[in-house]
Amino acid sequence: MEKINSEMNLQLRTAYEKWMAFQIKSCTGERRKRLQKGLSFSLKKFIIHVFWPAVGSFDDWLAEYEVKDYKDGFRYLDLAKPSLVIKICIEVDDKGTHGYNADSYKFSDDRFRQNDLVIDDWKVLRFSLHSILEQPRRCQQQMMHALAKWGIESNIIEPPLSPTELAIFKFIENKTEAYSPITIAQAVGIHRNTALKYLKSLVEKGKVMPEVRTGGPIRRYRSNRL
């Protein structure tokens, strides 16, 4: 299993694996090769921190969706929801591919790519990796607003919180910094081990994000609502 999958809760991981397996089985050619290789780091981060909390279902969504460009070649969309009524494309950008680190040709080609989609009546949403990691809640809200405007319903049902979970969540809900279990335990008035148990539960429910340093253990938690 891919390392990044460890960031997914059980419900998301199960749905993600079924979704990927179905797509690989039902397509051929270059798209199949791309899917077998695995989704990009940026796209998987988007699915974990934005798409799943905002949408809650992979129904009718496709990764690495193949479309023809104006040269009769093919382009591959990060995430797409094609239909006869409305076509939605989501692109996840990192600086190296789409930003100031890209050469002039790639930068211009990326603009032509988006223009082609708009001309072909695609609704396009773009999110940067930086905003996905630093402002996941704002990304979620923007995506939910767009989908609602376009007539797409969310499958999200907010899970109920226990009194202790609610107290912990209220403590960190509107704060940008991350907190250790000890700090949270002291603020709420519970034991550190109890705080840690409920923090893990809040992560499963999508309310809290663990802050993980590369190669290190989880030491702090912060709200997933900013």
- Report whether 121 contacts 87 (CB < 8 A): yes
pLDDT at 42: 94
pLDDT at 1: 40
Residues in the chain: 226
Cα dihedral 175→181→186→190 (10° resolution): 120
The CA distance from 35 to 25, in Å, is 10
pLDDT at 153: 66
SS3 of 77, please? strand
Residue 82: partners with Cβ closer than 8 Å, 6 or more residues away: 62, 65, 88
Residues of the chain with pLDDT under 50: 1, 96-99
pLDDT digits (tens, 9 = 90+) for 168-206: 988 988 788 889 999 999 999 999 999 999 998 888 777
